[in-house]
Chains A and B, each alone.
Chain A
Amino acid sequence: MSDAADKTLPLNDWHVARGVRMVPFAGYAMPIQYEGIMAEHKWTRESAGLFDVSHMGQLVIAGEGAEKALETLLPADLSILKEGRLRYSLLLTEDGGIIDDLMVTRRGDHFYMVVNGATKEGDIAHMADKLPPNVVLDHMKEQALLALQGPKAVEALSRLAPGVEQLSFMQGGAFQLGGLTAWISRSGYTGEDGFEISVPATQVTGIADLIASQPEVKPIGLGARDSLRLEAGLPLYGHDLDTTTTPIEADLGFAISKRRRGEGGFPGWHRIIQEIENGAIRRRVGLAVEGRQPVREGAMVVDAEGNEVGKVTSGGFSPILEAPIAMAYVPAALAEEGAAISVAQRGKIFQAKVVPMPFVPHRYHRKGA
């Protein structure tokens, strides 16, 4: 079924043994769906879904001056990032375009970074080129990555790895899980409470078996991963973000830390600070589409005369809202909540409205919140 040219991930045989359909994604054969996208999506929102995200790049950046060196590449304030805390950040081009979006964690004497699978090789080359010689970057190819997402993820995982229930959103630590030490963080990309679990690739099959055998848990494919992150309003690199979009256009201003806004010292600062002050000419917004037919990535946002003024970058059918939803870049004047948007797709005009994201509320576990 899968292209022979696709590389396989550590859990490949585990997926195949479960009769799952494999498709090429980010250069790997990956499971698209188990029992069906709709059922898997709803299961994740109601219980807990186990995702294989081993295609993502897990990196360690270490060495004297790693913090300062990383700050020359990322707009994050790493000086206030506490031990075991995660931060969403961006690799940026000199003119403020997004090379990748990522999670960075302070972990003892080094930083642990998770980057997108399709972009990891480019990210590594970019960072290796920019980091000083005394800062080393290690691509941990020997680690697999799982995500357990959903309101019952904490119930299932704390049974296997006691203590994980103490983590709050965007916090991680080392825990005993199935007889080995796993790095577990309370994070994910579905909008639900949940965890990401880094374990040695040689032992991930046993860990996946252990987690999937919990009554709350079912394995979930890429298809539902995409519909879940879309409902959560979370952008997907290569679709909603790329080197032609800036963080402010992409509505990711929160990733530009306060100190860094003032001080700069990261790629694209001049453009980004100008857009923070004056606004970007276009913005990524959420769209609620009338009717039942989805608009998809690539559909055009058009004005009254039919001229292209923007584009849809992600779109699909929301299993929770039972309605089509989309993300699009629209001119700033149309980026306000309630603005009427017309979308052209395959010769047909669709009516839509700008709505706040997330489309489905986040349910992260924030302490004291």
Chain B
Amino acid sequence: MSLYFTKEHEWIRIEGDTATVGITDFAQGQLGDIVFVEVPQAGTQVTQGGDAAVVESVKAASDVYAPVSGEVVEGNAALEADPSLVNSDPEGEGWFFKLRLSDNSQLEGLMGADEYKAFVDSQ
């Protein structure tokens, strides 16, 4: 298992050829109280950098981009009933979707945990 991060403040956990995607603790802190999350349905094809999910706080709507390309295998249905899971456990129960990677080489451009921490500190 390995963990990657993007400059758009998403995390990607890789297990085999499956990637679980969510937003980071930093991102949820910036967004504030999350009141709605729309995750992609299983079967949806997403492209690296393309729209994948929508997250809405009290104040604003934000897009969540697919950090890597692939086919969505599961959206986190729990977020529909309790979007605040993204605030309370962003890197656990508050995951957004799982996808089957179509191009493993896309992981090479992503950041590791230390690199992401340095990136956040520089923000």
Which B residues are within 8 Å of any A CB, using their own CB? Answer: 32-33, 35-36, 38, 54, 56-61, 80, 83
Contact = CB atoms under 8 A, between A and B. Distances in A.
20 contacts: A37-B32, A37-B57, A37-B58, A37-B59, A38-B32, A39-B33, A227-B58, A227-B59, A292-B36, A293-B36, A293-B54, A294-B61, A296-B61, A316-B58, A317-B36, A317-B56, A317-B58, A319-B33, A324-B35, A346-B61
Interface in A16-51: 33, 36-39, 41
The 10 closest A-B pairs by CB, nearest first: A38-B33, A317-B35, A293-B36, A37-B58, A292-B36, A317-B58, A223-B59, A37-B32, A36-B33, A227-B58
B106 to A, nearest CB: 26
Contact of B38 (A39, A227, A293, A317): A293
A216 interface: no
A226 interface: yes
A282 to B, nearest CB: 25
A294 B36 contact: yes
B33 A294 contact: no
A319 B32 CA distance: 13
A38 B58 contact: yes
Nearest to A21: B30
Interface in A311-336: 316-317, 319, 324
A259 B69 CA distance: 67
Contacts of B56: 293-294, 317
A36 B80 CA distance: 21
Contacts of A296: 60-61
A319 B57 CA distance: 11
A291 B1 CA distance: 37
Contacts of A316: 58-59
A60 B33 CA distance: 40
Nearest to B80: A292
B50 to A, nearest CB: 14
B88 to A, nearest CB: 12
Contact of B83 (A41, A227, A292, A324): A292
A324 B83 CA distance: 14
Contact of A37 (B33, B54, B61, B83): B33
Nearest to B63: A346
Contacts of A41: 58
A33 B32 CA distance: 9
A348 to B, nearest CB: 9
Nearest to A317: B35
B93 to A, nearest CB: 18
Given A293-B38, A317-B36, 11 more contacts: A37-B33, A38-B32, A38-B58, A223-B58, A223-B59, A292-B80, A293-B54, A294-B56, A317-B35, A319-B33, A346-B61
Given A37-B59, A316-B59, A294 B35 contact: yes
A324 B33 CA distance: 14
Contacts of A36: 32-33
Contacts of B32: 33, 36-38, 223
A66 B40 CA distance: 62
Contacts of B57: 37
B51 to A, nearest CB: 9
A291 B80 CA distance: 10
Given A33-B32, A38-B33, A319 B38 contact: no
B35, B36, B38, B61 interface centre (most CB from chain A within 10 Å): B35
A33 B80 CA distance: 25
Interface in A197-229: 223, 226-227
